[in-house]
Amino acid sequence: PRLEEYQEESPLQSNSLAVALGEMLEYNQGRGAGVERRAAQVPRCDVGERCAMKHGPRIGKLCDCLRGASCNTFMLRCY
């Protein structure tokens, strides 16, 4: 095929492509905002508070320890 064949698009084809792309971007923008909001809602723990939970071999994080403290994975508390 020649280059001219690819460049010759009817206005209807390019318009429908632009509309479809716009709909896809709107759909993805709506989904991404919820993920960002949930990720920002991790509560903070004070020193001595329970920061993790053990479920079998897995350890689930309940909250983030304050600056200067970290979550002890044996005691499951901030220290």
Verify that 70 and 59 share a domain, yes or no. yes
Q: pTM of this prediction? A: 0.46
- Which residues have C-beta within 8 Å of that of residue 51, sequence separation ≥ 6? 45, 61, 62, 63, 64, 65, 71, 76, 77, 78
| Domain boundaries, position 53 | 43-79
Verify that 68 and 53 share a domain, yes or no. yes
pLDDT at 42: 83
Verify that 70 and 50 share a domain, yes or no. yes
Mean pLDDT of the chain: 79
Amino acid at 13: Q
Structural domains counted in the chain = 2
List, for residues 19-47, the tens digit of each pLDDT value.
888 888 887 776 655 555 555 678 999 99
Verify that 31 and 55 share a domain, yes or no. no
What is the DSSP code string of 5-73? HHH---HHHHHHHHHHHHHHHHHHHHHHHHHHHHHTTPPEE-TTSB-EEEETTEEEE--EEPTT--EET
